[in-house]
Structures are given as C-alpha cells and as structure tokens.
Amino acid sequence: MKVKQVIQILDSKIITGEEFIENDVFSACGSDLMSDVLAFVKDQGMLLTGLVNPQVIRTAEMMDIHTIVFVRGKQPDDSVKEMAKERDMVILTTDYPLYVACGKLYEAGLSGGRPTL
Amino acid sequence: MSDIVKTLHYDVDPKDFDSVGEASGKTKNVLRQLGFPPEVLRRVAIAMYEGEINMVIHANGGTADVEISPKQIKITLKDNGPGIPDIEKAMQKGYSTASEEARSLGFGAGMGLFNMDTYADELNITTKIGVGTTVEMIIRT
Ligand SMILES: Nc1ncnc2c1ncn2[C@@H]1O[C@H](COP(=O)(O)OP(=O)(O)O)[C@@H](O)[C@H]1O
Ligand SMILES: [Mg+2]
C-alpha cells in the first residue's frame, strides 16, 4: 500500500512529508505504548497512535518507521512536526479512533506484518 | 581493547522527558555513518533507547557510554538511582513501577528490560539499592 492510499482510506491530512506519498508501507502497528511498539520490528512499517509527544518520533526513529498516523484528530505541535521533518518522516492525522483506523487499513489489505530484525 | 574504532559519551538528563532518546538517536547516526548494517543499527538503537528511558523514568538520569568496534558495540548505562530490588521480577514482561506521568507519555509498558534482553546479545545488570544501576549491553555485528 502506498502512503497516498493510506491518506485516502483514513481521510487524512498531511502534516509533513508531502514528498513521500508515493512511498510504500508494507505493515502497520497501532499502540499508545511505545515499548510495545519497540518489541515488534517490522520492515517499512507504519505507526498509528493516539499519543502526540516527541517520544513517538523517537520510537519511530529507532525502529526505522517513516510513516506516523496520529488518530482521533490529535494534532502534533511544531516541535514534533520539526523533529519528524528532520528525519524525513511522513506525519498524517485522522479523525478516526485507533481501532477504527487500524480496522480500515487492515480491511484494505495492510497486514500486521511479520517480525524481522 | 585495541580494535575500538570510536567511543561515545552522553549525559542523560533526568528532568527533560522530551530529550529522552537523543543519545540513542545520535549513536544510531554514528553507526550508520560507519557503515554498520540496518539490523545492527536497530538493535543498538532500540536496546539503548529502552535503557535511556529507564534512566529517566526510574532513576535520576545518568551517563551513556558506547564503545564501537568492528565486531561488537558495547553500551554502558550508569545511573545513581534507587537500584532494582528484584531483577528477575523486573525482567518479566509487563512488570512496571512507572509513574502516572511516565505512563501518560507512553512509557511503562513493562517491556523495556525484556526488549533489551531480546535485542542485545549480552545484557548484564549490576544494581545496588540506594546506590544505582549499571546496565551493560553487547550487540555483536
Ligand atoms: N535504571 C533503573 N533504576 C531503577 N529501577 C529500574 C531501572 N530500570 C528498570 N527498573 C525497574 O524495572 C522495572 C521494569 O523495567 P522495564 O522492563 O524497562 O519496564 P518499564 O520501564 O516500562 O517499567 C521498572 O518498572 C523499574 O521498577
Ligand atoms: Mg523501561
């Protein structure tokens, strides 16, 4: 799935990273617990979360995650946006809650992925 | 060891939640520039990040030292925090004494030590109640 399809499925707004909408996303993970995200490495993954603090960007950085979706209409502040930009990440927002956002993507064929290192 | 190509040193600030992970992120960038493979970068970054988080949410910050050699990366995280009373219990998935504040930031899933044990080839924890904790991790390349 491409980032632009994610945008369409989730009625998302792009906060930063417009230039990467043709990038591929092979799997996704949804969580508000960053250590749970860190427990499961997947390639070309995307993170959906209701948290909007700098630790989300850090977690994504450690995991090589380049696409982040903030759910439930949560808006990141400028410092979070800036951090994401510096790391060439895409940040999207959606009004859907976490469960629904994940469900819609799963239904569209985006899997939870297989763990890799 | 004579084959150490680079050493890094960072102070981990105890009060600034926003900067947690800076040392791990910088270390990852240095390793990338040195040409280590993505898998090694990730393992180092994740294990060190979990350790860094622990120093901030459970101790009073501390120091992070990294020794890079072609065969292995050694990370030493040292704090002067309260120490860990029962390491075996602390290692269990889901066990956490994290504060409400830490939890609200997405920490405190009780997966940190478990993740460190998973991603590092060696994990050694030395701890003394009231004195502090030193976590040593080796990631072989
Ligand atoms: N550096 C440390 N100093 C004191 N206690 C620690 C330290 N690191 C871990 N602990 C203890 O071990 C527990 C488990 O740690 P961890 O697996 O990282 O989970 P979490 O950080 O989510 O609580 C912590 O809740 C804490 O009680
Ligand atoms: Mg932890």
Note the pLDDT of residue B140: 97
Q: Is the CB of residue A1 less than 8 Å away from at least one CB of chain B?
A: no
Q: Which residue in the set A36, A51, A56 is minimally distant from B109, CB to CB?
A: A36
Domains of chain B, by residue range, sit at 6-140
Give the closest-approach CA distance of A21 to chain B in angstroms. 23
Burial of B89 (0-12, 13-18, 19+ CB in 10 A): exposed
- pLDDT, one tens digit per residue, over A88-104 is 999 999 999 999 999 99
> Which DSSP category does B18 fall into?
G
A76-81 average pLDDT score: 96
Cβ pair A53:B45 closer than 8 A: no
pLDDT at B1: 52
Per-residue pLDDT of chain B (141 residues; tens, 9 = 90+): 558 899 999 999 887 888 899 999 999 999 999 999 999 999 999 999 999 999 999 999 999 999 999 999 999 999 999 999 999 999 999 999 999 989 988 999 999 999 999 999 999 999 999 999 999 999 999
Which residues of chain A make contact with B105, given a CB cutoff of 8 A?
Answer: 51, 53, 55
How many CA atoms lie less than 13 Å away from A86 in the CB half-sphere? 12
Cβ(A78)–Cβ(A57) under 8 Å? no
| SS3 state of residue A43 | coil
A46 close to A6: Cβ distance less than 8 angstroms: yes
**What CATH number was assigned to the domain covering residues B6-140?**
3.30.565.10
Domains and CATH numbers, chain A: 3-107 (3.40.1390.20)
| pLDDT tens-digit map of A10-64 | 999 999 999 999 999 999 999 999 988 998 877 779 999 999 999 999 999 999 9
Strands (DSSP E) contained in chain B are: 6-12, 62-68, 72-79, 122-128, 132-140
**Max CA distance (Å), chain A:** 33
CB contact under 8 A, A35 and B109: yes
Among B136, B6, B116, B1, smallest CA distance to B53 is for B116
Ligand 1 binding residues, C-beta < 6 A:
A 35; B 50, 54-55, 58-59, 79, 81-82, 84, 90, 95-98, 107-114, 133
